[in-house]
Amino acid sequence: MAIKLSAFVATSIDGFIARKDGNIDWLNKANKQESELQDFGYSNFMKSIDIIVMGRNTFEQVLTFDKWPFEKKEVIVFCSKNIKISKTLSNTVKTSKESSNNLIDMLSKIGIRNIYVDGGLTIQSFILAHLLDEITITLVPILLGDGIPLFGPLIKDVQLQHLKTTTFNSGFVQIKYHLNKN
């Protein structure tokens, strides 16, 4: 069985995942308004995931949430320097300095099949390494004008195959793509 790497991310309509300073107040506000109604398929997505791989910045952002959102799922944090993992998370959160290719090879060898890739720079690095298989982008109906973009520079074009688009009465639009790795 092949390994599958997927991203599930929200952006502003103009493509930003956070403000320049990393603040996601706009996303938190949108989530509070919508979370009582629906989770945009996130729960079902998480049920299909074996492990989460994220960058240090995303990990530090998640630590500010009221509640750890990943329950007992194992999380690997990409980081170039050591970070402190609290005792309460030490059973499920590990760090890695491996390259994305080496990490995926190691995870594949231990039977991991479905990986959630999270965080802008981490998603970008997995796209550049031709490792990301699918991306689900939920567009939040807000324009930020500036911020941290989901996507960065590419060496060459990445062709996407449209899989599904879902619109919500709230103005949110979710688009799912398969990434061609050629």
How far, in Å, CA of 23 to CA of 57, rounded? 11
Encode 112-133 in three state secondary structure: CCEEEEECHHHHHHHHHCCCCC
Asked whether residue 173 carries a pLDDT value surpassing 90, the answer given is yes
The H or E element spanning position 46 is helix 42-47
**Whole-number average pLDDT of the chain:** 92
- In this prediction, residue 66 carries a pLDDT of 84
pLDDT tens-digit map of 75-104? 999 988 888 899 999 999 999 999 999 999
Question: What is the value of pTM for the model shown?
Answer: 0.92
Identify the bridge partners of residue 4 per DSSP, sorted by sequence position. Answer: 114
Q: Are 6 and 163 in contact (CB under 8 A)?
A: no
Residue 163 CB neighbours (<10 A): 12
Residue 166 CB neighbours (<10 A): 13
Report residue 159 as tokens.
């062709």
Identify the bridge partners of residue 12 per DSSP, sorted by sequence position. Answer: 140
Q: Tell me the pLDDT band of 35, cut-offs 50, 70 and 90.
A: low
Pick the CATH number of 14-131 from 3.40.50.970, 3.40.430.10, 3.90.1150.10, 2.20.25.240: 3.40.430.10
- In this prediction, residue 37 carries a pLDDT of 57
Report residue 25 as tokens.
């107040």
Asked whether residue 33 carries a pLDDT value surpassing 90, the answer given is no
Report residue 36 as tokens.
């009582």
Report residue 169 as tokens.
């009465």
